[in-house]
Amino acid sequence: MDFRRQIARNKRDSWFLMALVVVALLVLGFVIGFAYWGDYFGGIGLLGVFGVAAIVWSLVGYYAGPGMALAVSGAKEVTHDQEPQLWNIVEEMSVAAGQPMPRVFVIESDAANAFATGRDPRHSAIAVTRGLMARLNREEMQGVISHEMSHIRNYDIRFATLLGIMVGMIALVADFFLRWGFFFGGGRGRSSGSGSGGNAAQGVVFIIAIVLAILAPLFAYMVKFAYSRKREYLADASGVELTRNPVGLAGALEKIAADPAPLKTANRATNHLYISTPEKKHHKAGLFDTHPPIEERIARLRAMAYQAPGDVAATGETG
């Protein structure tokens, strides 16, 4: 499997998804502007405002987002002397992936979880919970870190950050319009002087705006979740490519699945970053899940183990 090509495709797909979300944001801006002021100038004006806001917001999120994600989850940076084994495992995986060493963080929580964030491999971080460190052996921890290192190498971290910002912005705008749009809507039409025809058109656009404001966030979340689910499988597979040991990650996921404690410091904005959904809800696979069912991921990893040549149980070079 050629990873360079896969990473290139990954980047392309991600830009396409980003473009879709940006277009959704601009369309929403135009329609709300049109509905509000009743003419094209209003629509294009608000579209422009949204466009500029999207750029500024993305830049801020791009540079400050990863730090904020680490801060809200209560992650503390650790050195090699504080956590030698964790640090060594991260370094092992960065050597295996041929990537720079990410910063290493620990979250003081009993829940078993981990995530990676950053804007590119040079500015990246891996955070694991204390609960995960207590439950996993070295081989399993290596599996988890290989998964996170793959998110970094595949540039999933960058697009998870950007997509999170865009989707958040659409949700916020739609929410704001639905809540406050009715109070001001229609009354301020500049075209009200041109007769009742203008008002009727404005009314129609206003209804379209309401429908869009309801649908756009749903669409944006679906894009984000579809993206997130697909990348989890990919990170599992390319993590195994690093360790050449599917059993370690499978074992880790089993322990994480069996762990009942939800991670309290995770929220709607950071859920999709984690290796396993932090909310711990159990139901059938749906369009609004950030992660594929963990049982399915374990099954795929176990299937890889059976394909591997030789005695799989002994393939761990991990020691």
Partner 1 sequence: MLAVAASHYSTVTVTGQAAGVAQGTLPLRRADTAPAPVRQSLEGGSVIAGIIIGVVVVVLIMIFIGLYNSLVKRRNAVDNSWSQIDVQLKRRHDLIPNLVESVKDYMSYEQETLSKVTEARAAAVAAGAEGPAQAAQAENALTDTLRSLFAVMENYPDLKASQNVMALQEELTATENKISFARQFYNDSVLTYNNKIQTVPSNVIAGMFNFTKRDYFEAPDAEREAPKVDLR
Active site residue 279: no
Q: Which token pair is 149?
A: 């290192």
d(CA 230, CA 221): 14
Residue-level length of the chain: 319
CB of 137 to partner 1, least distance (A): 6
CB of 307 to partner 1, least distance (A): 16
CB of 94 to partner 1, least distance (A): 9
Catalytic residue chosen out of the listed positions 139, 148, 295, 317: 148
Residues that bind partner 1 (CB under 8 A): 84-85, 88-89, 91-93, 95-98, 137-138, 142, 242, 244, 310-311, 314-319
Which of 265, 318 has the CB closer to partner 1?
318
Give the list of residues 6+ apart from residue 229 with CB closer than 8 angstroms, or none: 289, 290, 291, 292
CB of 209 to partner 1, least distance (A): 44
In the chain, the DSSP E strands lie at 75-77, 103-107, 114-120, 123-129
Which of 138, 190 has the CB closer to partner 1?
138
Which of 120, 317 has the CB closer to partner 1?
317
Which of 91, 279 has the CB closer to partner 1?
91
Provide the edge-to-edge strand list for the sheet that holds 114-120: 75-77, 103-107, 123-129, 114-120
User: 190 — alpha (psi -120 to 50), left (phi > 0) or beta?
Assistant: alpha
Catalytic residues: 148
